[in-house]
Structure 1
Amino acid sequence: MTTVTAVPLQPVKRGYLIWLWLGIILACVSAWALARQGDPALVREARGHGIVTTASGLQYKIVKPGEAGGAHPTASDVALIQYQGRLLDGTTFDKSERPTPLPLSGVVPGFSETLKLMTKGEKVRVWMPPSLGYGATPPPGAPIPANATLVFDVELIDFIPETVLRQMQAQQSMGGMPGGAVPPGVAPPGGAIPPGGAPIGR
């Protein structure tokens, strides 16, 4: 017998082992509960293949691919989109009735991030955590509770630099466009224009 094994180890009391296992089980349950609470979109609705989570916590799934290798909108662009916004329980809180122009610089961070990931013709479903949506202060009168995860179905129809759009609108209002024509995808003041170029009523 060597000096290392000359002194036998004292047996561990059964009570200590029980407390150790209870602690391990409690830690596992707590970690599982935190994962559910911190990521409700994935747990409740976003389970499945093809879901991407970005560094900000935004989750999205491509429903229909857009232009392969196409350009993406930037913060200085206006995007022409169709969209529907709802809560995790399925309640719709907003829906576009026609193609809607939205400046990327004027929307909540999660919506801007989503559009920057898309190409023309693409459709996505996106799960937006409260930190990327309205957080604790949703718009007054909106049916969005505080700290709600938002779900959007978005189709990117087209996009154009905001400066170009403003120049076209100015030319149109001054009669600079030939025959009063409106370029496809450009929204005049007070209305939206679909890709075909025909004005839509207010």
Structure 2
Amino acid sequence: MTAEGMPRVNADFGAYPTVEFEGEAPAGLKVVELVEGDGPLVRKGDTVTVNYHGLVWGSDSPFDSSFDRHQPASFAIGVGQVIKGWDQSLPGHNVGSRILVSIPSQYGYGPQGMPQAGIGGGDTLVFVIDIISTR
């Protein structure tokens, strides 16, 4: 599945993400719901459990993937525990949703990047996120 200006991603909730890039990263934070879940709505302040696959725009291999670890991640959303792009992208989506997020550096790791993860300053990040639960 694809949306204008975004990478191609398989839209099957729970399936290992495949990501194909074309062209330049979009400007600004961009969120595309690939699968709309029918579970509870994620709200700011909730603790969410997700599977995610994160790549630097244009990269073939992820810098981090809970799919690779076979271990979902849980954290509070909308309260500064994760990068701003996540805090602004997840609330408003339902459990069971697969979302594709393009996060410019100002909503990610900024001009300093995160070199230990292979993220350069100014890099746009792309995440495929499956929302497993919220509480």
Higher strand share: 2
Residue of structure 1 in register with 2:56 after alignment:
87
Higher helix share: 1
Give structure 1 stretches of 5+ with no counterpart.
Answer: 1-40, 48-55, 161-202
Q: Tell me the TM-score normalised to structure 2 length.
A: 0.71
Q: Could you tell me how far apart the structure 1 residues matched to 2:111 and 2:28 are? A: 17
Q: Where does 1:1-202 land on structure 2 (aligned, <5 Å)?
A: 42=5, 45-46=6-7, 57-67=28-38, 70-74=40-44, 76-90=45-59, 91-96=61-66, 97=69, 98-104=71-77, 105=79, 106-160=81-135
- Higher RCO structure (Cα 8 Å, ≥6 apart): 2
Q: Could you tell me how far apart the structure 2 residues matched to 1:122 and 1:62 are? A: 7
Q: Tell me the TM-score normalised to structure 1 length.
A: 0.49
3-state SS in 2 of match to 1:121: coil
Aligned-pair Cα RMSD in Å: 2.2
Aligned residues: 108
Give structure 2 stretches of 5+ with no counterpart.
Answer: 9-26
Deviation (angstroms), 1:88:
1.3
Which aligned segments of 4 or more residues in structure 1 are displaced greater than 4 angstroms?
Answer: none
Q: Could you tell me how far apart the structure 1 residues matched to 2:120 and 2:92 are? A: 27
